[in-house]
Structure 1
Amino acid sequence: MTPDIRKIVTFEEEVFSEGFRKADTPWRLYAVAAVITNPWAGRFVEDLTPEIRAYGPILGEMLTERIVSLAGGGDAIEAYGKAGVVGTNGEIEHASALIHTLHFGNHYRNAVAAKSYLSFTNTRGPANAPISIPLMDKNDAGRRSHYLTIQFAIPDAPAPDEVVIVLGGASGGRPHHRIGDRYQDLKELGHDLDNPASV
């Protein structure tokens, strides 16, 4: 059982100036998307596990190889995330199923030597639906400079019976970030940094 891939789409943006000021070094954002046939389209399927386990490793490995190549290596990726967009003849659960599995995400996490979880969106929409990939620092979930969103769209995808599966990355945080990290807020609010839920 393998995913039926109609096409692969890549996105790349190189930013030279942000916030009315030139960036010290160009800031790169990139994404790789696979447009695949939704194996569960048009019907309710109780057990999604067989396709999740079959498709996850294939899509995870393929998209990871491509985004790492686009970035110039795993070390070049500081912020990362993922997204799934299901067509109108599918469920949000179908997009979730294909991205919320370690069979998929661990390929990317391992390739970039990450510690934090992959931030995500899972949505439903027609062809040319907005694809938003939230990013975070691959090693520090509290590092606000790397809270980013990549946005793009594919004019002919997803078709009603398709799912778009996406990985995103960035070479760094916002060039002129100046809102600090969440740790300062925790200190100001009197929280224990080792146990943020405590007061």
Structure 2
Amino acid sequence: MPDVVIRKTLSVVEEIFHEGGPPAEVPLRRAAAVSVIANPFAGRYVEEIAGFMEDLKPLGLQMAKLLIDRLGGDPKAVEGYGKGAIVGTAGELEHGALWHVPGGYAMREALGNAAAIVPSTKKVGAPGTRLDVPVTHINASYVRSHFDAMEVSMADAPRADEMALILVMTTGQRIHARVGGLKASEVKGEDGLR
């Protein structure tokens, strides 16, 4: 398979102190890492693309470790995660699906084998396209307080022949979460759901 050629990277941390109500005792921190890479399949249809997932695994692990570092260095502080991809206009949506395994498994491994499936989204778009990356709890997808999203974009990416690969991690529930459901303190972590 082709080499992974990175043009640029971005990492950003957002701290949320309140959402109109009282300030939180501990601010919610959300972090995103983006790697803009050449899309080796841009401009043509290629039947066999799945092998490229293996090539992307080291990048996924590097990005996951970067996010943990940006959130203070302790994997135990991370409670939510998600992933996404924006494929440049000379590519196809399926090229973004190549990020499912390398992005998701990298975060799960870096966080100590988190149990929940990593939520994901992808789209085809031009430079500046914005993507809402969904977030759920790392060990139980049914923890409603952790249903969230982080909007990610880069002004000059992806170019037509590129892909922007994205990972997101968070340190807790939405600020002022109060709509019930399974609480993080009640997670059993047996099936990734509850």
As a proportion of its length, which structure holds more helix?
Answer: 1
2:188 is matched with none
Post-superposition CA distance 1:67-122 (Å, at most 9, x none) = 1111122111100010011011100000112x122x44212102113110000101
2:26 is matched with 25
User: Secondary structure of 2:27's partner?
Assistant: strand
Give unmatched runs, 5+ long, in structure 2: 184-190
TM-score (norm 2): 0.88
Contact kept, 8 Å, 2:17 with 2:175, in 1: the verdict is no
1:130 is matched with 130
Identical residues among aligned pairs (%) = 33
1:120 is matched with 120
The amino acid that maps onto 1:121 is T
- Farther off after superposition, 104-113 or 65-74: 104-113
As a proportion of its length, which structure holds more strand?
Answer: 1
| 1:70 has 2:66 as partner | no
Paired residues, number: 182
Post-superposition CA distance 1:17-72 (Å, at most 9, x none) = 223321121110110010000010000000002222222x1221111121111112
| 1:88 has 2:78 as partner | no
The amino acid that maps onto 1:96 is A
Q: How many angstroms apart in 2 are the aligned matches of 1:3 and 1:160?
A: 16
Contact kept, 8 Å, 1:87 with 1:125, in 2: the verdict is yes
Query: 1:182 Cα deviation (Å)?
Result: 6.0
| 1:108 has 2:107 as partner | yes
Runs of 4+ in 1 over 6 A off after TM superposition: none
User: Secondary structure of 1:53's partner?
Assistant: helix
| 1:168 has 2:168 as partner | yes
- Farther off after superposition, 27-36 or 71-80: 71-80
Contact kept, 8 Å, 1:19 with 1:176, in 2: the verdict is no
TM-score (norm 1): 0.86
Query: 1:11 Cα deviation (Å)?
Result: 1.6
2:157 is matched with 157
CA RMSD, 1 decimal: 1.8
